[in-house]
Amino acid sequence: MIISHFPSNLPSNNHMVYPQLLDAIRSSDTLVENNMDADAALIWSVLWFGKMSGNRKVWEHYRAQGKPVIVIEVGGLIRNETWKLGINGINRDADFALDVGVNPDRVKQLGIERAPWVFEDKPYILVCGQHAHSLQWANMPDMDTYFRETVTSIRKIYDKPIVIRSHPRFRENLHFQLTDPNWYKEQNCEWNIAKHVQKTYDSFDLENQLRETYLTVSHSSNAGITSILRGVPAVVTKHSLAWEVCSTLKERRFVTREKWLIEMCNIEWRADEIGVQWQRIRQKL
């Protein structure tokens, strides 16, 4: 196969895994650059913003022709140490070749632990936003509308305080405006600013916030995965990789997470393992 990649459309942390992926592709296929007529395209993420804005044109061109787009992006299990490599999307919309087979030992190999479910009451409900320039947010409302609709749904069931946590790179009053800030106050909502973890590229402090969270609500971001790993029930949509073990607003579910966690650990790979995942998804191209 001829695989085209687009080196001008990469984030600054690409050096952590991208060279290893290119080497893996070269070992089995022909790798070219900036070619819009290859058998498949390789892009970084589906965030059409900043350095990666140009990937949108690549995505739309290849998908319109019915050709596959291979997507690499940062993982959520061990941020900036594990990576996802899938076909035609990210999260639950992508094909990660799980039907090729899964290795149950990967949970231990990655050192991933799941905390016990948190059954006791906690002070508030946490709502997490996403970056609206991502393909993940396609067919979704503007962020203010999303938050208002979500808060309204929660208020039909709960009177707990609600903490709203915008995506750290798509913040309220910076990247989108609130039509009525007082409405959120009337609904007993508080806005939280995600804090960057020092000496990391883009890790933030969600784990600390989950200690006081009764239930999280999100669309398809890593927040739902992190929440469930920490034992906090999470409401997500069918686009989230946490869908199989999620809760609903009406019912917090405390389901068995073993099979789900094995699959999650067969979706994310360290840089020196990314060639293994390349060979797995190559069978599906």
pLDDT of residue 193: 82
DSSP string over 99-151: GG---TTHHHHHT---PPP--S--SEEEEE---TTBGGGTTPPPHHHHHHHHH
Helices (H), the chain: 18-26, 55-64, 106-110, 143-155, 181-186, 206-210, 222-229, 258-265, 274-282
CA separation for the pair 239, 160 (Å, rounded)? 27
Do 252 and 274 lie in one domain? The reply is no
CA angle 173, 179, 182 (to 5 degrees): 90
Do 146 and 233 lie in one domain? The reply is yes
98-128 as b/e: b if 16+ CB within 10 A: eeeebeeebbeebebebeebbeeeeebbbbb
Do 157 and 248 lie in one domain? The reply is yes
Do 84 and 177 lie in one domain? The reply is no
CA 242: distance to chain centroid?
A: 10
Q: Are strands 40-44 and 69-74 parallel, antiparallel or unpaired?
A: parallel
116 domain-assigned: no
Burial class for 179, CB neighbours closer than 10 Å (0-12, 13-18, 19+): exposed
Amino acid at 256: T
Over residues 220-236, the pLDDT tens digits come to 999 999 999 999 999 99
111 domain-assigned: no
Residue 196 has pLDDT above 80, yes or no: no
Contact 28, 279 (CB under 8 A): yes
Contact 84, 75 (CB under 8 A): yes
Do 251 and 278 lie in one domain? The reply is no
Number of domains in the chain: 2
CA separation for the pair 249, 226 (Å, rounded)? 18
109 domain-assigned: no
CA separation for the pair 200, 80 (Å, rounded)? 8
Q: Residues of the chain with pLDDT > 90: what percent? A: 92
What mean pLDDT is predicted for residues 243-262?
A: 98
pLDDT of residue 80: 83
Q: Binning pLDDT at 50, 70 and 90, where does residue 149 land? A: very high
- In angstroms and rounded to an integer, the radius of gyration of the C-alpha atoms of the chain is 19
| Pick from 75-84, 181-190, 200-209: least confident | 200-209
CA 269: distance to chain centroid?
A: 15
Residue 200 has pLDDT above 60, yes or no: no
The average confidence (pLDDT) of the chain is 95
Do 184 and 147 lie in one domain? The reply is yes
Over residues 89-138, the pLDDT tens digits come to 999 999 999 999 999 999 999 999 999 999 999 999 999 999 999 999 99
What mean pLDDT is predicted for residues 161-169?
A: 94
SS3 call for 72: strand
Over residues 10-68, the pLDDT tens digits come to 999 999 999 999 999 999 999 999 999 999 999 999 999 999 999 999 999 999 999 99
Q: Binning pLDDT at 50, 70 and 90, where does residue 203 land? A: very low
Domain that holds residue 47: 2-102+268-282
CA separation for the pair 215, 232 (Å, rounded)? 6
Identify the CATH number of the domain in which residue 243 sits. Answer: 3.40.50
State which H helix or E strand residue 44 sits in.
strand 40-44
